Structure 1
Amino acid sequence: MKINNKKEVNTYMAFQLVVMVLLFLITIALNHLGYHLFSRVFALAALLVLLYGILKNQFVFEYENSGQVISIKSYQWLSLGRKMPVFEMPHKKIVRTKIKEHTFRKYLIIVFFNSSGKMLKRNIDITFCSKSQANQLLRDITNNLAKKNKELISEK
């Protein structure tokens, strides 16, 4: 199963870029017409939109489940598709997952055992995934955990 948020991030970032360009064009036009105070206000608004975009740090999120391994990759919108593996783990090492939502961010929290047997927790930013994508992601990982638990019970 594959899940990604590329379409949502592309739409959001394109809208943000259009707004910034319009604000800068209005700034230039107002400055040229002699409305210096208004041009500074629009320049400040354009800079705030730019700063918001930098702080929001839009990432494209890709989830793939090959049957044995869960793979989550992430890359920035303007990175020309250079994908960075954020998390790759066999199903058998994952203990539990949940989604935690903050004011402007959404995280997938995965608790797993590392190679030395320590229990670790990993927070993965899935902010731009829709509610249905996040639920589908959580359901897919949880289904694999349930299958793993059934196998462990049947082995006993």
Structure 2
Amino acid sequence: MKINNKKRVSYHVGVQLVVLALLLLSISVLRYLGYTYFIGIFFLTAFLVLVYGFLKNQFIFEYENSGQVISIKSYRWISSGKKFPVFEMPQKKIVRIEIQERTFRKYLIILFSNSSGKVLRRNIDITFCSEDEIQLLFEDIANNLVKEKSGTYFL
């Protein structure tokens, strides 16, 4: 199963670029016409759109489950598609997963066992994923967790 937010992030970035272009065009027209008081308002609005775009919709998240290995990649929209694995692990090593919400961030927390049997924790930022994508991600990983001998999931 594959889950990614590439189309949604690309759409949002495109809309933000169009809004920025319109705001900058408005600033130049207002400056040409001599309305210097309104330039500050349009400049502040353009700056806020830039900050919002930088903070909100910049990361593309990709999840892939090939049946044996779970792979999660995250990269910036501007990075020209350079993908860096954030997490790659065989399914049988994953012990527990949970989703934790903090102030303005959401994290997928994965507990997994290493080769010596020690349980390690990995926090993966999933803030830029929609609720549907987060639900699909959680369900897919949870369905593939290793079962205990009693037959219940180790969640």
Same-fold call, TM cutoff 0.5: yes
TM range (shorter): 0.7 to 0.9
Mapped partners of 1:134, 1:65: distance in 2:
14
Alignment of 1:1-156 (within 5 A): 1-56=1-56, 58-145=58-145, 148-149=146-147, 152=149
Looking at structure 2, the residues matched to 22 and 78 of structure 1 have their Cα atoms a distance apart, in angstroms, of 21
Question: Which letter does structure 2 place at the counterpart of 1:67?
Answer: G
Return the offset for 1:57. 6.0
Structure 1 residues not aligned, in runs of 5+? none
CA contact 1:8–1:128 (8 Å) conserved in 2: no
Q: Structure 2: which 5+ residue stretches go unaligned?
A: none
* Bigger helix share: 1
Separation (CA, whole Å) in 2 of partners of 1:113 and 1:124: 17
Provide the rounded CA distance (Å) in 1 between the counterparts of 2:7 and 2:57: 16
Amino acid at match of 1:149: K
- Measured on the aligned residues, the alpha-carbon RMSD in Å equals 1.8
* Greater CA drift, 106-115 or 4-13: 106-115
Contact 1:57 1:76 in 2 (8 A): no
Q: Mean Cα displacement is larger for which, 125-134 or 28-37?
A: 125-134
Asked if the contact 2:60/2:77 (under 8 Å) is kept, the reply is: yes
- TM-superposition CA deviations, 1:52-94 (whole Å, max 9, x none): 2223361111111111110001111111111111100111211
TM-score normalized with structure 2 length: 0.87
Which amino acid counterpart does residue 110 of structure 1 have in structure 2?
A: I
